[in-house]
Amino acid sequence: MDWVIVSALVSTIGIAISAFAFVCLAVELGDGRRFMKAQLINELEREYRDHYSTYTMLLPGQPWSPEGPGPGGYDDLQLLEAYLEFFEKLSLIIETRALDLRSADRLYAFRFLLAMNNPHVEKLIHRDEPYWPALLSLHTTWTAYRVARGLPILNREYEFRTSSQRANERQRDEVPA
């Protein structure tokens, strides 16, 4: 028996087994990542349930909708801030790529834009605007994402503007033609 041929055959089999093991590992890692993403989405939905009453107050025809009187007191503002903080957290999750914007859009676009494109929410954010950078960044990114794909923007007529954007608009409107 020629040991060179046996050695080459064993080496070839070893390489094939290693390649197969590598492919199996890659598939397993991909499955693990999908599973972790599913767990994250499930956990976000579980947490979001705590904010459902705030969400319903923001819906059309409800007190905090753009046409409604808005939040009435300190307790209402606390609920609204907690709702916005959920989306600040979501912004950081997207930034770290633990969740992609496409998935977040499918789950939360309506709920996010319902709040952000609302004059009552805009007023609340303007009060402490420097402390909401993740939320403001998410709004800019998300709106651009939806515009680029031709997707609707909820409450576009009330689209959120930062304080400086509003000031620039007022300045522009005051300049005589």
Paired tokens of 161: 């503007």
Per-residue confidence band for 58, with pLDDT thresholds at 50, 70 and 90:
very high
Mean pLDDT of the chain: 85
pLDDT tens digits, 9-37: 656 765 666 555 555 455 555 566 777 88
What pLDDT was estimated at residue 74? 92
Cα separation, 131 vs 7, in Å, equals 67
What pLDDT was estimated at residue 161? 81
Paired tokens of 72: 């009435």
The residue that leads in pLDDT, 114 or 167, is: 114
pLDDT tens digits, 87-132: 999 999 999 999 999 999 999 999 999 999 999 999 999 988 899 9
CA–centroid distance for 169 within its chain? 28
Per-residue confidence band for 54, with pLDDT thresholds at 50, 70 and 90:
very high
Q: Where does residue 139 rank: exposed (0-12), middle (13-18), buried (19+ CB within 10 A)? A: buried
Residue whose entry in the numeric block shows the structure tokens 């606390």: 78
- Helices 74-95 and 3-48 cross at an angle (nearest 10°) of 170
Q: Within 10 Å of residue 97's Cβ, how many Cβ atoms?
A: 8
Per-residue confidence band for 86, with pLDDT thresholds at 50, 70 and 90:
very high
With 70 as the cut, is the pLDDT of residue 83 above it?
yes
Domain boundaries, the chain: 43-174
Picking from 177, 61, 58, the residue whose alpha carbon sits closest to that of residue 115 is 58
Cα separation, 12 vs 6, in Å, equals 10
Cα separation, 154 vs 66, in Å, equals 12
Q: Is the pTM of this model over 0.85?
A: no
